[in-house]
Chains A and B, each alone.
Chain A
């Protein structure tokens, strides 16, 4: 973007020639054209703008020549396409209304007049034939009408992004520009420094820009990957060890138990299971029975359930089994199991009472009339058996049982149970009556 050193020397040599004002402008332009090729025109134009804007050339004659050279560069193009068109228009504005770095360029009226005629009137060509001294001497202050050019130039820049129109030169004169004329050698040195440096600040711009903050690093409470060790270090392919051990009645018993929860075991299977349990008193702990599975066993194989429960009597789990048993849905089988247990072992009274209450309330709530009758009969027989065997003390349940009998007095067994209660109340021996009832059921 910079002119070569030679080109700079040519330009400065011309502009700083002490005899400058006495050559015709035409002549000077032809000198420039001799030494600077067309391909450097834009750079040359930029260099001229730089020396004008930065007040490196301060004499009116220098400016007249410089502006003439600048105008000559693009004179064959339409003004609308002249890259420096807007610069000329700027300079023609009064200093106070100029923008962006040209404020310091204080044109004399005669210079303004010259510039306006140069770009806007047909006198331009004539003027170039004169010497700068002559032009200054005329002291012409007429301004040619350049409004159409102003319009064209403004149109030219209207395509630019508004944000790029704010650029100004980053150069500030360190000293206020007064009427002093700078020492020519200082001017030359400064010009050379500004024009020859490929990264010259003269080509840089200063503009307002927004601050753009880098966003913060994202932080997540769960982001890092925590390594977990498996709880167990191995899951290996397994060897079937059941092959190597002699026939195992325990395994057989376990398999039968699984079946016993679902189906009625055949007599043979039942026998097999019970024999195995009898043979190994600890086996009962290893056949997979849990309280939650008891109801299924009771329903399907009450006999097995009884045997298993009897074997579990010493277990710490037995109360849980009882609790499941008395709370399970009332049925013939559950009653059979409870009945058998009551006659064989000492059941805690509260369990029996709970079971009876459970039975009674089941009878009361059941909807199916036929089932209800059946259940009521069963309960009555069961109660009579309990009373006869003195498993329960009827006094403790008297009111509840009596109410039950009255509610179902239409059923013969309930009536019989009621009579039994009455006899007990009056101290009669219930034995005979009970045996009759038993035979009927």
Chain B
């Protein structure tokens, strides 16, 4: 190029740097008219065009044309012959990155990665950043780490950023990214976090903090690291720093604020503070309804990753649903999950969560069962009739625990019913990784058994309960498997098998009381869970006509209970029943008199 042309090129570049893209385009168009075959000029012109019209599709077309013109085949399996072509590879990768075609972008960048050394430094750095970003996005964090080592090996020995140099490259580098080394460290920390090298990750983060170079993103990483190490208090203390600086918090921008609220809510969730958690998820969700995001321009942001993507919205919805579920708000949680499932329908857990909402909407929990003193007055409903003809009415609803439906409505409609739960659980079960016997699988089987028992499908209930009983490794699921399996066997007329399953001598193998200490689940105490097991056995024995054994078992529970009251009142109801079929109304009346003071018994 002659000095005239050189001047035009410099002008265009300085326009570009100063974001005067139209002017830049004018200069380049002029330059093209002088030198119509210069690939670099043509390339820069289409880049300038992109920055003017922000049309990524058009840019893709122009870039393809440029490649054809320059006989550059980006999809050859080799690295480009001419290191000057690397920028075209890079820009194509940026297009793919924007289109979320991360694998494709990564393949392309891998081809030019070996050329980062001869590449101009500013470009080499961009290539490195995007390459590692893509490794993270493609879940190849270990590859990311080895790439970073390679980059360090290539660049860092001569202290890229520390030396003053007056070459034009370095000026550019200094202007665009003040610290290549630091950015690499940030990336390294992220990669190590993703590969679960927590100790190494912490070292790097500590180093970054010691340099005073922490950013929002590294503070988040540190909190995440503590979270992953289950140091929830630490995580909270680390993350809350961000909000303490109130003035700057407001200036963070909505994307970071969204991230902050979501993440602090996550920490609270693990600290088992679901109400606080759901409060902050609500705030995170609220960020979406900020007016400006409703009016977000449709233009392509060519290169800037947007947190406000539909997928992120669904993730926040999912989190919020989980927190709501744990605050016992199944209907609200259900709405969140039905929204979130649209983007996460391949995750078995979200289907289980939906089913859990349905179950909770049907029956909140078991807690009510285990208050003997409160419940005993429920044994009797009322009385009917008058004079000597007066009758005491026993409460048969004490047992009511079924939701048989004859509703012709399709089960597939997402409403929080147990019928819909069967579909959710079916999905969840099918999506579980084959052959696994995870806690998740046990939870799914337990829910399947419960739901099918409750809607009156003992065959399916039996199928799932048998699997659960056979494979459960968690005590609580073994325990539930026992109960569900026995109940399904009873419904299938297999009393003896049910009696065998409920064998009380094996209680220690399935005592759930240890496991459920941290959970909001009842029965909590060993006495309570044992009482349920014994009671159910007594009920089956009664149905099977083994009245005497049943009576003995009830007495045994009564002895175990002592003065503690966390046992179901059903044991009295069953004792009453036994007296009634034995024809002993007098004892029955005595039991009622003892337990139900509201029934005023005139006689005696």
Q: Is the CB of B44 within 8 A of A240?
A: yes
Residues on A with C-beta less than 8 A from B10 are 244-245
Q: Is the CB of A250 within 8 A of B220?
A: no
Question: In the complex, what distance in Å separates the CA atom of A229 from the CA atom of B136?
Answer: 12
Residues on A with C-beta less than 8 A from B574 are 208
CB of B13 within 8 Å of the partner chain: yes
Taking the closest CB of chain A, its distance from the CB of B558, in whole angstroms, is 16
Q: Is the CB of B523 within 8 A of A213?
A: yes
CB of A439 within 8 Å of the partner chain: no
Residues on A with C-beta less than 8 A from B476 are 216
By size class, the interface of chain B is: 35 or more
Taking the closest CB of chain A, its distance from the CB of B167, in whole angstroms, is 6
Question: In the complex, what distance in Å separates the CA atom of A429 from the CA atom of B543?
Answer: 119
Residues on B with C-beta less than 8 A from A350 are none
Q: Is the CB of A235 within 8 A of B126?
A: yes
Residues on B with C-beta less than 8 A from A212 are 401, 450, 453-454, 483-484, 487
CB of B299 within 8 Å of the partner chain: no
| Given known contacts A174-B601, A231-B186, A240-B40, A162 and B356 CB-to-CB distance under 8 angstroms | no
| Given known contacts A175-B388, A209-B539, A250-B169, A218 and B318 CB-to-CB distance under 8 angstroms | no
Residues on A with C-beta less than 8 A from B581 are 99-100, 168
Residues on B with C-beta less than 8 A from A215 are 359, 443, 446-447, 450, 480
CB of B145 within 8 Å of the partner chain: no
Q: Is the CB of B385 within 8 A of A186?
A: yes
Nearest-neighbor residue (CB-CB) of B218 within chain A: A231
- Per DSSP, chain A at the interface is loop
Q: Is the CB of A237 within 8 A of B302?
A: yes
Set A95, A201, A258, A317: member contacting B157, Cβ < 8 A: A317
| Given known contacts A208-B543, A218-B356, A190 and B536 CB-to-CB distance under 8 angstroms | no
Nearest-neighbor residue (CB-CB) of A232 within chain B: B129
Q: Interface with B: A2-10, A72-80, A282-290, A326-334, which one?
A: A282-290
Set A103, A161, A213, A315: member contacting B480, Cβ < 8 A: A213
Set A100, A161, A292: member contacting B493, Cβ < 8 A: A161
Question: In the complex, what distance in Å separates the CA atom of A174 from the CA atom of B118?
Answer: 101
Question: In the complex, what distance in Å separates the CA atom of A216 from the CA atom of B369?
Answer: 14
CB of A428 within 8 Å of the partner chain: no
CB of A267 within 8 Å of the partner chain: no
Q: Is the CB of A232 within 8 A of B133?
A: yes
Set B87, B263, B391, B542: member contacting A172, Cβ < 8 A: B391
Q: Is the CB of A286 within 8 A of B167?
A: yes
Q: Is the CB of A176 within 8 A of B394?
A: no
Q: Is the CB of B542 within 8 A of A166?
A: yes
CB of B117 within 8 Å of the partner chain: yes
Question: In the complex, what distance in Å separates the CA atom of A208 from the CA atom of B570?
Answer: 9
| Given known contacts A207-B396, A211-B536, A194 and B384 CB-to-CB distance under 8 angstroms | yes
CB of A210 within 8 Å of the partner chain: yes
Question: In the complex, what distance in Å separates the CA atom of A80 from the CA atom of B90?
Answer: 88
Q: Is the CB of B385 within 8 A of A290?
A: no
Question: In the complex, what distance in Å separates the CA atom of A187 from the CA atom of B270?
Answer: 64
Q: Is the CB of A194 within 8 A of B539?
A: no
Q: Is the CB of B47 within 8 A of A238?
A: yes
CB of B275 within 8 Å of the partner chain: no
Set B44, B167, B383: member contacting A248, Cβ < 8 A: B167
Nearest-neighbor residue (CB-CB) of B172 within chain A: A241
| Given known contacts A209-B401, A221-B230, A226 and B158 CB-to-CB distance under 8 angstroms | no
Q: Is the CB of B392 within 8 A of A171?
A: yes
Q: Is the CB of A172 within 8 A of B588?
A: yes
A377-399 interface mask toward B, CB cutoff 8 Å, 1 = contact, 0 = none? Answer: 00000000000000000000000
Q: Which residues 90-132 in B have Cβ within 8 Å of A in the complex?
A: 90-91, 94-95, 97, 115, 117-118, 120, 122-123, 126, 129-130, 132
| Given known contacts A54-B391, A210-B536, A230-B305, A258 and B83 CB-to-CB distance under 8 angstroms | yes
CB of A234 within 8 Å of the partner chain: yes
Residues on A with C-beta less than 8 A from B50 are 237
CB of B41 within 8 Å of the partner chain: yes
Q: Is the CB of A213 within 8 A of B366?
A: yes
CB of A56 within 8 Å of the partner chain: yes
B516-544 interface mask toward A, CB cutoff 8 Å, 1 = contact, 0 = none? Answer: 10011101000000001001100110110
Q: Interface with A: B252-260, B289-297, B409-417, which one?
A: B252-260
Q: Is the CB of A238 within 8 A of B305?
A: no
Residues on B with C-beta less than 8 A from A55 are 389
Q: Is the CB of B118 within 8 A of A257?
A: yes
B5-19 interface mask toward A, CB cutoff 8 Å, 1 = contact, 0 = none? Answer: 010011011101000
Question: In the complex, what distance in Å separates the CA atom of A162 from the CA atom of B540?
Answer: 11
Q: Is the CB of B266 within 8 A of A224?
A: yes
CB of B315 within 8 Å of the partner chain: yes
Residues on B with C-beta less than 8 A from A161 are 491, 493
Question: In the complex, what distance in Å separates the CA atom of A212 from the CA atom of B158?
Answer: 71
Question: In the complex, what distance in Å separates the CA atom of A268 from the CA atom of B406?
Answer: 92
CB of A13 within 8 Å of the partner chain: no
Q: Is the CB of B303 within 8 A of A236?
A: yes
Q: Is the CB of A201 within 8 A of B393?
A: yes
Q: Is the CB of B521 within 8 A of A242?
A: no
Set A100, A235, A286: member contacting B303, Cβ < 8 A: A235
By size class, the interface of chain A is: 35 or more
Q: Is the CB of B129 within 8 A of A205?
A: no
Question: In the complex, what distance in Å separates the CA atom of A212 from the CA atom of B256?
Answer: 46
Set A98, A103, A209, A243: member contacting B40, Cβ < 8 A: A243
Set A180, A221, A229: member contacting B220, Cβ < 8 A: A229
Question: In the complex, what distance in Å separates the CA atom of A55 from the CA atom of B389?
Answer: 8
Nearest-neighbor residue (CB-CB) of B574 within chain A: A208
Q: Is the CB of B9 within 8 A of A234?
A: no
Set B259, B312, B391: member contacting A171, Cβ < 8 A: B391
Residues on B with C-beta less than 8 A from A282 are 163, 165
Q: Is the CB of B224 within 8 A of A220?
A: no
| Given known contacts A170-B396, A219-B519, A230-B133, A250 and B172 CB-to-CB distance under 8 angstroms | no
Set B6, B168, B325, B577: member contacting A217, Cβ < 8 A: B325
Question: In the complex, what distance in Å separates the CA atom of A223 from the CA atom of B322?
Answer: 9
Residues on B with C-beta less than 8 A from A101 are 580
CB of A368 within 8 Å of the partner chain: no
Question: In the complex, what distance in Å separates the CA atom of A71 from the CA atom of B546?
Answer: 34
Taking the closest CB of chain B, its distance from the CB of A208, in whole angstroms, is 4
Q: Is the CB of B168 within 8 A of A248?
A: yes
Residues on B with C-beta less than 8 A from A242 are 40, 84, 120
Q: Is the CB of B303 within 8 A of A237?
A: yes
CB of B598 within 8 Å of the partner chain: no
Q: Is the CB of A211 within 8 A of B532?
A: yes
CB of A314 within 8 Å of the partner chain: no
| Given known contacts A182-B389, A194-B385, A210 and B539 CB-to-CB distance under 8 angstroms | yes
Q: Is the CB of B387 within 8 A of A186?
A: yes
Residues on B with C-beta less than 8 A from A239 are 13, 16, 44, 47-48
Q: Is the CB of B359 within 8 A of A214?
A: yes
Q: Is the CB of A104 within 8 A of B535?
A: no
Residues on A with C-beta less than 8 A from B165 are 282, 286
**A-B interface, 6 closest residue pairs, ranked by CB to CB distance from nearest:** A190-B385, A186-B387, A244-B13, A236-B303, A216-B521, A190-B389
25 examples of A-B residue contacts, CB within 8 angstroms: A99-B581, A172-B391, A172-B392, A172-B580, A172-B585, A204-B393, A207-B399, A207-B577, A209-B539, A211-B536, A213-B480, A217-B326, A223-B322, A225-B262, A227-B312, A227-B316, A235-B305, A236-B304, A237-B51, A237-B59, A239-B13, A240-B40, A240-B47, A242-B120, A286-B165
Interface residues, chain A, with chain B CB atoms under 8 Å away: 54-56, 95-96, 98-101, 103-104, 161-163, 166, 168, 170-176, 180, 182-183, 185-187, 189-190, 193-194, 201, 204-221, 223-246, 248, 250-251, 254-255, 257-258, 282, 285-286, 288, 290-292, 315, 317, 320
Give me 9 other A-B pairs in contact (C-beta within 8 A), A209-B401, A258-B83 excluded: A55-B389, A171-B394, A174-B589, A174-B601, A230-B305, A240-B40, A244-B14, A285-B163, A288-B154
